[in-house]
């Protein structure tokens, strides 16, 4: 007979088998094998008539959960029971966090083993860790199980009590959640700030200076001893200078006059300050910080990051990826320091091991930060990984190794210059010793390139020097609205506010995208009109549910339950059934919520109402029989909806689209329309005979009000054939792409692109001008006058004409296009790499978020179909739990 070991996934099972002695059989539970019912069809007939059955929690019997085995898990349970028949011992080896503890407890309840049962935990899957864990098994932690169960019940109560209310009052299929609704409110509040934002304009001067053959820049800071206004001096709600600020606000006329007055006047250095700055490395990754950096650097969604990290953990490459801890074990400290000394040298090693401590009181998900697994760290190139797995492992490896490196020493240099009564400032930064920056720079793929970006070298100046001014320019500025949340900044805010657990952020963000509360566009989370309507309703009638401080306190209580500092049952009773409990509030408020008002989003636009309908948001104007409605394009957000766009949408609905005129050759009408992705021109009308008329987006700087018939005809004719190249005979075209206008030489060796300059017009650029542009060398994006020689130039990117090159980095060769870097996959060489392959690698990185959403939606659809079953298994209630060597009786 064998010892049966149960883990969550087949991947984890395959890896752990390699480290167990003979006589051990490893099976996978495929995640949870038991849960609350997900649909009415899963509710057992015996309790279906009970008023609490839809909740899946008997609120009248001490919140007893109704557990069922989903249809798709019955075969797995049968397999595990059969395996148990031939076992002499059962080891439950699910993950070490609350979720894993809960899975082990449910397995124990279902299998009801009559043999000795143990709970085995480990935070990495290596031979040493598994063998150590085998010798140190324990019983199931009842407090962790109870804490997880309370959390699950609480989330069910919130979701299943509020969501039906949203269906009745706003739209079918909406959902509310304990953390989800707070996250949506954060997005909505930011969008409200953007909508309330009023732009401010100001001017200043920029100088190009020369000293001892070295050039540097300076900006105007004071005039006659008074500070010159900058963006920070403006009130974002008025667009005016904040009351009480003593600043000089320059307009264009004043800035131009000042420029003329200062031109040709002598400059002098009035003050110079050099300030040493020491930077320390960041701690190793936690779940939250890994999600943030992966989103910033790799453009991976939180959900995708966790999926990749889970695979890396289960294959034995990294330690457990759900953790709030920044602590590194002694074994990890030694391994990281060995890497530093071997790859960078003794000088780059911190004098003493850096030991990080976790500040969060609730940190308990695991006992160590996310790091490479094992007592020695494999470099990314030694793993044999590729694609996203390589990228995420590379990120974790660099962050861990950098955490044991020496400080970075820098010098901040500030130079004050004076010309007549105008004060200018020039700022520089010198990296005296890069320290940990040699391995890892937050927000940058390539440490070497980031070091170049960070240095700003000034000439050797001293007080009294007289640099020459080669050019003085008047520059206009406009203040910018608050930036929208990215996944990284939303995760950071949720964690800093103490809302939810980092291990759940990926699923929360995925849910609010899938439910239509936000759109992910260019890595920005943009709330929809539906998000506004739901947030308005919850703020007005259930303010605590979307109050970050209330949710944070709730999270703390759930943590206290896991440590025994709080009692779960009194808390649930107070939250749900108390005098001000959720159930009580919903019953009181339901009759007071007007459905028409709940479906209306108030953006304070006169004579226009924005409603949420069955097919999305729409405009409504007029009264009685004169009511006119018009659908709002999917990608038109609340912050971007202004009176001009409203009038265009209503006019399109009432009178049809604006007709610019007729095409001079075909006679077809040309229309100007506003679509989901902005304004565009269209040739001809849509019909059965012409279902897809030709369309062209309006380029930057051209609006529906300013576009002419001639411009529209030109746009619809793109790409323009300019002629042939005199040397190759290949065609040259002008076109408008995703990154702006460009010309392309369709050479046999590959397409050669060049972006048009600001003064060029894609509709009029000539063959001669195109040849001039194509003759220019391709420009990279080097900073501070520095550039790194490419190992290999692959050519121009087909979308924007920017160069795609291969460079040598500290951990091997990598492909660079503008600001995107991709490591060369294992098994491929610099010599073998082609432009097509490089573009494919770069594209896969850029399309991560989009593919993730599609995948998630398809998986979600599949998951829903599996819940449609007319039979359910016999329920097992928590109050009837049995005791064993794996866990005592639940109380």
Whether residue 67 contacts residue 878, with contact meaning beta carbons closer than 8 Å, is answered with yes
Q: What is the pLDDT of residue 863?
A: 38
Selection from 204, 202, 209 nearest residue 426 by Cα: 209
Q: What is the pLDDT of residue 640?
A: 80
- What's the N-to-C CA distance of the chain in angstroms? 34
Q: What is the pLDDT of residue 891?
A: 39
> What residues are annotated to the active site?
320
Is the Cα torsion angle 648, 654, 657, 663 positive or negative in sign?
Answer: negative
Q: How many residues are recorded in the chain? A: 891
Q: Give pTM, 2 decimals.
A: 0.75
3-class DSSP state of 858: helix
Residue numbers in the chain where pLDDT is lower than 70: 359-366, 442-453, 676-678, 738-739, 778-789, 808-812, 825-829, 831-832, 844-891
Q: What is the pLDDT of residue 352?
A: 95
Q: What is the pLDDT of residue 233?
A: 95
Q: What is the pLDDT of residue 169?
A: 95
Could you give the domains of the chain?
A: 2-139+868-880 (3.40.50.140), 150-196+489-494+502-598 (1.10.460.10), 201-280+411-433+460-478 (2.70.20.10), 287-406 (1.10.290.10), 720-762+764-846 (no CATH)
Selection from 443, 305, 287 nearest residue 371 by Cα: 287
Q: What is the pLDDT of residue 340?
A: 95
Q: What is the pLDDT of residue 867?
A: 34
Residue 841 has a CB neighbour count (10 Å cut-off) of 20
Cα 420 from Cα 247, distance rounded (Å): 19
SS3 letters across 425-474 = EEEEEEEEECHHHHCCCCCCCCHHHHHHHHCECCCCCCCCCCCEEEEEEE
10 Å CB burial of residue 874 (0-12, 13-18, 19+) is exposed
Q: Are strands 87-92 and 2-7 parallel, antiparallel or unpaired?
A: parallel
């Amino acid at each position: 007979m064998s010892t049966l070991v149960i883990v969550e996934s087949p991947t984890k099972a395959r890896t752990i088998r390699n480290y167990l002695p003979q006589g051990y059989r490893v099976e996978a539970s495929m995640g949870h094998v038991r849960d609350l019912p997900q649909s009415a069809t899963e509710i057992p007939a015996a309790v279906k008539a009970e008023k609490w059955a839809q909740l899946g929690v008997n609120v009248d019997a001490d919140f007893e959960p109704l557990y069922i085995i989903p249809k798709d898990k019955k075969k797995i349970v049968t397999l595990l029971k059969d395996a148990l028949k031939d076992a002499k011992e059962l080891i439950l080896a699910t993950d070490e966090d609350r979720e894993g503890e809960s899975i082990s407890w449910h397995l124990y309840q279902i299998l009801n083993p009559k043999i000795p049962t143990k709970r085995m935990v480990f935070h990495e899957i290596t031979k040493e860790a598994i063998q150590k864990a085998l010798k140190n098994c324990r019983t199931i932690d009842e407090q962790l199980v109870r804490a997880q169960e309370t959390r699950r019940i609480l989330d069910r109560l919130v979701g299943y009590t509020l969501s039906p209310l949203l269906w009745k009052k706003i739209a079918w299929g909406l959902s509310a959640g304990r953390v989800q609704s707070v996250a949506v409110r954060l997005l909505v509040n930011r969008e409200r700030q953007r909508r309330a934002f009023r732009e401010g304009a100001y001017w200043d001067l920029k100088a190009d200076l020369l000293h001892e053959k070295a050039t540097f820049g300076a900006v105007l800071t004071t005039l006659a001893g008074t500070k010159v206004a900058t963006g920070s001096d403006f009130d974002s709600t008025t667009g005016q200078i904040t009351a009480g600020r003593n600043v000089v606000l320059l307009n264009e006329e004043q800035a131009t006059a000042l420029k003329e007055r200062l031109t040709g006047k002598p400059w002098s250095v009035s003050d110079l300050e050099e300030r040493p700055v020491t930077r320390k490395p960041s701690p190793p990754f936690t779940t939250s910080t890994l999600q943030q950096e992966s989103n910033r650097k790799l453009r991976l969604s939180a959900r995708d990051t966790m999926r990749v990290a889970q695979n890396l953990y289960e294959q034995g490459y990294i330690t457990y990826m759900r953790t709030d801890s920044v602590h590194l074990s002694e074994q990890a400290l030694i391994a990281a320091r060995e890497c530093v000394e071997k790859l960078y040298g003794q000088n780059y090693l911190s004098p003493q091991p850096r030991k990080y401590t976790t500040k969060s009181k609730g940190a308990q998900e695991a006992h160590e930060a996310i790091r490479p697994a094992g007592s020695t760290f494999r470099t990314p190139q030694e793993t044999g990984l590729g694609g996203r797995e390589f990228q995420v492992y590379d990120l974790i490896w660099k962050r861990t190794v950098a955490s044991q490196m020496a400080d970075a020493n820098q010098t901040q240099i500030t130079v004050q210059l004076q010309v007549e009564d105008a004060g200018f400032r020039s700022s520089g930064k010198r990296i005296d010793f890069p320290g940990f920056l040699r391995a890892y720079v937050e927000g940058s793929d390539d440490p070497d390139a980031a070091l170049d970006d960070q240095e700003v070298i000034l000439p050797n100046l001293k007080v009294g020097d007289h640099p020459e001014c080669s050019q003085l320019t008047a520059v206009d500025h406009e203040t910018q609205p608050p930036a929208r949340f990215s996944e990284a900044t939303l995760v950071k805010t949720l964690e800093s506010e103490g809302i939810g657990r980092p291990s759940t952020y990926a699923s929360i963000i995925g849910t609010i995208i899938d439910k239509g509360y936000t759109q992910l566009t260019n890595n920005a989370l943009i709330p929809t009109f539906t998000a506004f309507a739901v947030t308005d309703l919850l703020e007005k009638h259930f303010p605590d549910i979307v109050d970050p401080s209330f949710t944070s306190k709730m999270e703390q209580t759930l943590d206290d339950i896991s440590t025994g500092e709080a009692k779960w049952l009194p808390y649930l009773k107070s939250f749900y059934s108390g005098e001000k409990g959720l159930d009580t509030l919903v019953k009181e408020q339901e009759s007071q919520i007007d459905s028409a008002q709940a479906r209306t989003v108030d953006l304070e636009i006169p004579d226009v109402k924005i409603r949420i309908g069955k097919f999305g948001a729409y405009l409504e104007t007029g009264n009685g029989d004169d009511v006119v409605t018009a659908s709002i394009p999917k990608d038109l957000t609340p912050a971007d909806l202004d009176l001009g766009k409203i009038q265009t949408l209503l006019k399109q609905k009432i009178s049809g689209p604006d007709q610019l005129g007729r095409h001079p050759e075909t006679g077809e009408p040309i229309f100007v329309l506003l679509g989901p992705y902005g304004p565009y021109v269209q040739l001809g009308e849509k019909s059965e005979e012409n279902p897809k008329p030709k369309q062209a987006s309006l380029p930057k700087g051209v609006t529906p009000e300013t576009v002419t018939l001639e411009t529209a005809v030109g746009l619809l004719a793109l790409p323009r054939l300019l002629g042939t190249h005199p040397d190759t005979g290949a065609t040259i075209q002008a076109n408008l792409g995703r990154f702006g206008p460009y010309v392309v030489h369709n050479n046999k060796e590959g397409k050669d692109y060049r972006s048009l300059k600001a003064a060029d017009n894609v509709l009029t650029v000539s063959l001669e001008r195109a040849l001039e542009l194509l003759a220019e060398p391709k420009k990279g994006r080097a900073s501070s006058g520095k550039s790194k020689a490419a190992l290999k130039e692959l050519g121009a990117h087909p979308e924007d004409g920017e160069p795609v090159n291969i460079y040598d980095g500290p951990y091997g060769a990598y492909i660079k296009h503008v600001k995107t870097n991709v490591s060369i996959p294992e098994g491929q060489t610099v010599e073998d790499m082609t432009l097509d392959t490089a573009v494919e690698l770069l594209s896969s990185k850029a399309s991560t978020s989009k593919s993730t959403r599609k995948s998630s939606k398809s998986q979600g659809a599949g998951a829903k179909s599996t819940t449609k079953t007319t039979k359910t298994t016999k329920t097992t209630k928590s109050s009837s739990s049995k005791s064993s060597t794996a866990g005592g009786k639940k109380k």
